[in-house]
């Protein structure tokens, strides 16, 4: 018996040793490397299993090669043309573009994100307004409906959506849906089968059959996209579930979404097309009917940027970093999950210490305890740097937005956390329109009125036990 135990111990120690060697050899962020080594040392057997399931780094390897090739083939040429345009005479460049030329150039280079000039944007300030606008657009669909969501639940709001989609499919409209296998785990196969029988082409993004044996579980499609007839697009923080409209037992649900018309919808359609290519075994949506000529004429420059394990660069993180560093006056941030990497954390502190008005709204509670405590572990050092921190009190604030100098703003699916920066497939709309930034700022100020400002004195007076929870949780923040 002792010999068997000895052999098993030797086998485990060997596996743990070579796992740690593999982690070190991966040459990722040192903080993340040390966090994984800590997990393996503190959680025998379980730590190795956890690393195999969610820790291995396949960012630019076999899983995502097909998507990257399609992305580059389709939009490289147009991005190069736009780079030439930005490098031309200043008089030929619109003022809104000229002010943000270096920023736009960054995203053309690192993300192949086309600059679109003529757009119309409506800010949807809650789930009720979002689904009212989405359902209205779906009812008016003539050619195609393309939906892509991290979470789809077959509850009241989900069943309403599915009935509408079935009606449009019966009327001859092409309906395609992508759902994430992990985020939409409540969506039963019987429901999916019924939708397919009703003419809805619904596909799962990277199905996970054995979560503890597959690294796919770590790379999830967190995007929220809807495109109707290639003319109307929706994106932001809202998934398909009742809580985004009705709230939870803890209170109302606050969120931000966008309804977009114009050139940017073509960018959204291309992004959906690349994701569809991936989930449908190389079905490329290249028919001109999916990319109609926009009729919007007013100037509202925008870039739709995406990031994920198929990208060479952490484009959304780099865009946030550049935005914070180029701010002249103010930086306003709302995020439900605040687990920044060192670059973003340092940029926020330096901006505040340099005299910029930096304000961050965080929720007063979270749907994840460890994320809740880990997020709060950053509050003290931000307060020391002069950053203004607010805890939203009237329910859960799930908005993901950044406003810079009242002129530039960002709304999308990405949180200010390492998972959104490195592991998830995300999408964000970057808008270079002072009118939109002004409207978002007004909503941000209204949220401040519903929030409690946290002072250094209040923070230092919190229970010592809370500080312990925060410190322990922060050790694992690179893995959350």
Q: Which residues are catalytic?
A: 222, 224, 229, 398, 400, 405
Torsion angle of C-alpha atoms 13, 15, 19, 22, degrees rounded to 10: 120
- E strands along 105-256, which residues? 115-124, 144-149, 174-180, 201-205, 224-228, 232-236, 253-254
Report the run of H or E that residue 361 belongs to, with start and end. Answer: strand 357-363
Residues contacting 141, CB < 8 A, separation 6+: 168, 173, 228, 229
Does residue 425 contact residue 308 with C-beta atoms inside 8 Å? yes
CA of residue 355 relative to chain centroid, distance: 29
Task: Give residue 272's region: left, alpha or beta (phi > 0; psi -120 to 50).
Answer: alpha
CA of residue 180 relative to chain centroid, distance: 13
Phi, psi of 395 (to 5 degrees): 95, -155
Q: What is the DSSP string of 29-72?
A: -HHHHHHHHHHHHHSTTHHHHHIIIII---TTSGGGHHHHHHHH
Closest CA to 44 of 73, 74, 8, 77: 8
Q: Find the radius of gyration of the CA atoms of the chain.
A: 23
Closest CA to 99 of 441, 440, 437, 444: 437
């Amino acid at each position: 018996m002792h010999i068997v135990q000895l052999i098993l111990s030797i086998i485990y120690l060997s596996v743990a040793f070579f796992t740690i060697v593999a982690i070190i050899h991966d040459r990722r962020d040192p903080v993340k490397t040390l966090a994984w080594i800590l997990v393996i040392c503190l959680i025998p057997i379980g730590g190795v299993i956890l690393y195999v399931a969610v820790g291995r780094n396949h960012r630019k390897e076999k899983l995502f090669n097909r998507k990257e090739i399609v992305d580059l083939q389709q939009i490289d040429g147009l991005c190069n043309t736009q780079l030439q345009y930005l490098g031309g005479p200043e008089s030929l460049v619109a003022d809104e573009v000229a002010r943000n030329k270096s920023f736009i150039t960054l995203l053309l280079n690192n993300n192949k994100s086309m600059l679109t000039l003529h757009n119309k944007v409506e800010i949807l300030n809650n789930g009720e307004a979002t689904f009212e606008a989405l359902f209205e657009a779906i009812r008016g669909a003539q050619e195609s409906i393309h939906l892509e969501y991290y979470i789809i639940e077959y509850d009241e709001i989900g069943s309403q959506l599915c009935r509408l989609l079935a009606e449009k499919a019966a009327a001859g409209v092409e309906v395609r849906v992508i759902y994430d296998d992990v985020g939409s785990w409540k969506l039963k196969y019987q429901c999916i089968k019924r939708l397919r029988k009703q003419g809805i082409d619904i596909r799962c993004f990277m199905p996970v059959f054995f979560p503890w044996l597959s690294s796919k579980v770590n790379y999830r499609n967190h995007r929220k996209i809807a495109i109707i007839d290639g003319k109307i697009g929706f994106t932001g923080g809202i998934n398909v579930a009742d809580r985004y409209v009705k709230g939870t037992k803890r209170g109302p649900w606050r969120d931000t979404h966008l309804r977009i018309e114009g050139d940017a919808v073509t960018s959204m359609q291309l992004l959906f097309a690349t994701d569809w290519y991936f989930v449908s075994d190389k079905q490329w949506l290249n028919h001109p009917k999916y990319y109609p000529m926009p009729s919007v004429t007013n100037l509202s420059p925008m870039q739709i940027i995406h990031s994920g394990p198929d990208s060479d660069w952490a484009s959304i993180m780099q865009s946030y970093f550049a935005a914070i560093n180029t701010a002249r006056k103010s930086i306003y941030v709302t995020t439900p999950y605040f687990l920044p990497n060192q670059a973003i954390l340092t940029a926020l502190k330096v901006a505040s210490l340099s005299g910029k008005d930096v304000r961050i709204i965080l929720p007063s509670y979270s749907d994840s305890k460890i994320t809740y405590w880990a997020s709060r572990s950053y509050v003290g050092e931000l307060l020391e740097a002069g950053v203004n921190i607010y805890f939203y009190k009237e329910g859960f604030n799930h908005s993901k937005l950044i406003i810079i100098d009242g002129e530039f703003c960002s709304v999308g699916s990405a949180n200010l956390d390492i998972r959104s920066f490195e592991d998830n497939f995300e999408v964000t709309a970057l808008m270079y329109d002072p009118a939109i930034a002004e409207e978002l700022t007004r909503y941000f100020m209204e949220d401040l009125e519903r929030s409690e400002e946290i002072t250094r004195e209040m923070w230092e007076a919190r229970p010592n036990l809370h500080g312990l929870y925060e410190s322990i949780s922060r050790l694992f923040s690179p893995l959350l």
